[in-house]
Chains A and B, each alone.
Chain A
Amino acid sequence: MTIAAPNTRAIPVIADDSAEFHRSRLRTALNFCARQPLGTFGMVIVVIMAIAGLCADWIAPYSPTANDFAAMTEAPSWAHWLGTDQFGRDLLSRIIFGARTALIVGFSCAIVASVTGLILGVGSAYFGGRLDLYLQSVLDVVMAFPLIIMALAVVAIFGTGVHNVIVAITIPLIPRCARVVRSSALAIREVPYIDAARACGFGHARIILRHMVPNVMAPFLILLTAFVGQAILAEASLSYLGLGVQEPTPAWGLMLQGGAEEYASTAPWIAVFPGLAIALTVFGFSLFGDALRDALDPKLRDR
């Protein structure tokens, strides 16, 4: 009984703490919105695109692949808000479904690339020595390939399609993350608390995961957001060149490839709207990423 008493009293204290915690989080979020109007605008765009991608099946007014030969290259109207393409497919529906393709590719590439980069970067910095030297030389070589060139080379080997495009864009992004994370991690390795952790006899895994990784989260998150935009842009470029996502999968770059130039003068909406979708989404991610950097990196806060 005497033992249970402090416990029952302790519970509400914890609950209070977490409520306080949530309130302060909300305040942080509101603070972020007030300080970073552009970043908030970017976040709103990203959220809209995410909803469009996730709920495409319910939102889209038509099927993205249904041809309607009675309504080819129709101008925007109440029936087709953004008009139709040369096969009579509803552009709005294709753009909404295209958001799904873009976000799948964007997030898969960004997450896989930055997590791999995080492991390589922190590992390289923590263990140092030979491993660091060899790993850095390999990553330097991969960095010598401009993103789109590496992606094209990978597509040349493995062929086109969503999965190959994800691989093709992920590979060149990995060293870009590893390099940034490594340089942050190198600074952290010299900090006394890492020595303290070592002196306590903690294993490598514990020191890396509990003490180093949380401290490189700021550059990691900034890179992750930047990568999503870059990957969406790269996917659109590859698809536009006919070397990315293939028909009938709706993808923004692919929509510009088909007949955008051919129908430029008669049906400009075919060329305008998908490109606008790409630009807006990437714009949203860049704005959000920039604001995140300003918020997470105090050195840049006033610049």
Chain B
Amino acid sequence: MYRYIIKRVLLVIPTLVGAAALVFLLMRLIPGDICVVRLGSGGGTFDERAVAACHAQLGLDRSMFVQFIDFVWGFFRGDFGISMWSGKPVVTEIAARFPISLEICILAIVVANLIAIPLGTLSALKQNSPIDLVIRTISIAGLATPSFWLGILFILAILDISQSAFGTPWMPPIDYVPLWQDPIRNLSMAIFPALTVGYRTSAVTMRMTRSAMLEVLREDYIRTARAKGLIEHIIINRHALKNALLPVVTLMGIEAAFLIGGLVVTEQVFNLNGIGRLFVQSVQNQDYTMTQALVMLVVAAFVVTNTVVDLLYAWLDPRIRYA
């Protein structure tokens, strides 16, 4: 087991270094000189000295190799440089927006599993019945519905319902208040984006729960449990579901990708000042230092999640550990 853990954790390093190299190279693929693009985008004139100062500030006057080492080293120290747009350290900008995104992520995972596991199980138990068909349609529709559109529909519904209920339209608040300061305000802000992202994420989990459950229900030990006269819900809960949820754990990696993708778009819809919005703004503003830091951060989070999932799975399923 320890050998497996060490091997798996060590694998993270080349992936992250590779990803860093890719991000680093991509950002240098930008046609033309970043500084000229930045200074020229305002439409005004600029002199050589401004360009040189900009180069020096970004460290572009050094060799590529030194720049890359500096980039990787900075990443490990948590220093991503200065935002080219706001002039503040990238870390400060990210830290200010992190809590809201994290909260939506956590809520979305809760929402996703609350929807997915019961519906997936039900769907498997009633295989090929009308209920199964409806649940499978809900799941496929979840994958097909763009999260921004779902968010817009939520806003439409909130406006309509509040209009008819209170007479004045109500919108969820958009400034972040920590949960412990004003839980109602905090939750009323985070719950709708979480529902939007969570529904999409649940689609994947639902399908996996269904197919894993179908497989488990055909196992001999389920037949044995039935044969010895156990009550159906004990068979389902204790024997079947426990084993069926094992492969569902591996989906957390895919879910993470859905969450990140969902956040980028959903924060835009609900006008929330989180990481996803920062990302979109940094791309729009050609803030390359910010973009490269955020891409790196997301990739690191994604790689770490996948590693944790692999380890968790090995811990839960001994067959992998000893293989």
A217 to B18, CA, bound (A): 31
Of residues 264 through 303 on chain A, the ones whose CB sits less than 8 Å from some CB of chain B are: 264-265, 268, 271-272, 274-275, 278-283, 285-287, 290, 303
Cross-chain contact B143 with A286 (CB below 8 angstroms): yes
A261 to B266, CA, bound (A): 13
Cross-chain contact B286 with A156 (CB below 8 angstroms): yes
Q: A146-B302, A242-B284 are known contacts. Are A286 and B144 too (CB-CB below 8 A)?
A: yes
Of residues 147 through 196 on chain A, the ones whose CB sits less than 8 Å from some CB of chain B are: 147-149, 152-158
Q: A117 on the interface (CB 8 Å rule)?
A: no
Q: B178 on the interface (CB 8 Å rule)?
A: no
Interface size of A in residues (CB-CB distance below 8 Å): 49
The closest CB in chain B to the CB of A268 belongs to B156
A228 to B160, CA, bound (A): 35
A261 to B282, CA, bound (A): 22
Q: A279-B141, A303-B211 are known contacts. Are A261 and B269 too (CB-CB below 8 A)?
A: yes
A212 to B147, CA, bound (A): 39
Cross-chain contact A241 with B265 (CB below 8 angstroms): yes
Q: B159 on the interface (CB 8 Å rule)?
A: yes
Interface size of B in residues (CB-CB distance below 8 Å): 57
Q: B225 on the interface (CB 8 Å rule)?
A: no
The closest CB in chain B to the CB of A286 belongs to B140
Cross-chain contact B144 with A282 (CB below 8 angstroms): yes
Contact of B155 (CB < 8 Å), options: A152, A253, A264: A264
Q: In the complex, identify which listed stretch (A55-63, A133-141, A201-209) lies at the interface while the others stay far away.
A: A133-141
Cross-chain contact A157 with B22 (CB below 8 angstroms): no
Cross-chain contact B283 with A146 (CB below 8 angstroms): no
Q: A50 on the interface (CB 8 Å rule)?
A: no
The closest CB in chain A to the CB of B258 belongs to A146
Q: Which B residues are CB-close (under 8 A) to A256?
A: 148-149, 152
Cross-chain contact B146 with A279 (CB below 8 angstroms): yes
In terms of DSSP, what is the predominant structure of the interface of chain A?
Answer: helix
Cross-chain contact A152 with B18 (CB below 8 angstroms): no
Q: Which B residues are CB-close (under 8 A) to A155?
A: 283
Cross-chain contact B283 with A237 (CB below 8 angstroms): no
Cross-chain contact B149 with A147 (CB below 8 angstroms): no
Q: B268 on the interface (CB 8 Å rule)?
A: yes
Cross-chain contact A264 with B141 (CB below 8 angstroms): no
A239-263 to B contact mask, C-beta < 8 Å, 1/0: 0111100000000010010001100
Q: Which A residues are CB-close (under 8 A) to B215?
A: 303
Q: B23 on the interface (CB 8 Å rule)?
A: yes
Minimal beta-carbon separation of A129 from chain B (angstroms): 19
A146 to B26, CA, bound (A): 16
B161-184 to A contact mask, C-beta < 8 Å, 1/0: 001000001000000000000000
Cross-chain contact A152 with B152 (CB below 8 angstroms): no
Cross-chain contact A157 with B302 (CB below 8 angstroms): no
Cross-chain contact B163 with A229 (CB below 8 angstroms): no
Of residues 125 through 150 on chain B, the ones whose CB sits less than 8 Å from some CB of chain A are: 133, 136-137, 140-141, 143-149
Minimal beta-carbon separation of B273 from chain A (angstroms): 15
Cross-chain contact A275 with B153 (CB below 8 angstroms): yes
Among B15, B146, B280, B283, chain A packs the most CB atoms within 10 A around the CB of: B146
Cross-chain contact A243 with B284 (CB below 8 angstroms): yes
Q: Which A residues are CB-close (under 8 A) to B91?
A: none
Cross-chain contact A241 with B156 (CB below 8 angstroms): no
Minimal beta-carbon separation of B27 from chain A (angstroms): 7
Q: A142 on the interface (CB 8 Å rule)?
A: yes
Q: A233 on the interface (CB 8 Å rule)?
A: yes
The closest CB in chain A to the CB of B256 belongs to A146
A303 to B214, CA, bound (A): 7
Minimal beta-carbon separation of B98 from chain A (angstroms): 16
The closest CB in chain A to the CB of B291 belongs to A156
Q: A144 on the interface (CB 8 Å rule)?
A: yes
Q: A137-B18, A153-B26 are known contacts. Are A237 and B265 too (CB-CB below 8 A)?
A: yes
Q: A81 on the interface (CB 8 Å rule)?
A: no
A242 to B149, CA, bound (A): 15
Q: A138-B18, A282-B144 are known contacts. Are A157 and B264 too (CB-CB below 8 A)?
A: no
A155 to B29, CA, bound (A): 12
A283 to B31, CA, bound (A): 38
Minimal beta-carbon separation of A100 from chain B (angstroms): 18
The closest CB in chain A to the CB of B264 belongs to A148
**Given pairs A141-B18, A236-B146, A240-B268, 4 additional interface contacts (CB within 8 A):** A140-B15, A142-B22, A274-B149, A286-B140
Enumerate 29 A-B pairs (CB-CB under 8 Å) in ascending A order: A141-B15, A141-B19, A141-B22, A145-B299, A146-B298, A146-B302, A147-B261, A149-B279, A153-B291, A156-B283, A156-B288, A157-B27, A157-B29, A229-B143, A233-B144, A237-B146, A237-B148, A237-B264, A240-B268, A261-B152, A264-B156, A264-B159, A271-B152, A274-B149, A279-B145, A282-B143, A285-B144, A286-B144, A303-B211
Please give the residue numbers on chain A whose beta carbons come within 8 Å of chain B beta carbons, in ascending order.
38, 137-138, 140-142, 144-149, 152-158, 229, 233, 236-237, 240-243, 253, 256, 260-261, 264-265, 268, 271-272, 274-275, 278-283, 285-287, 290, 303
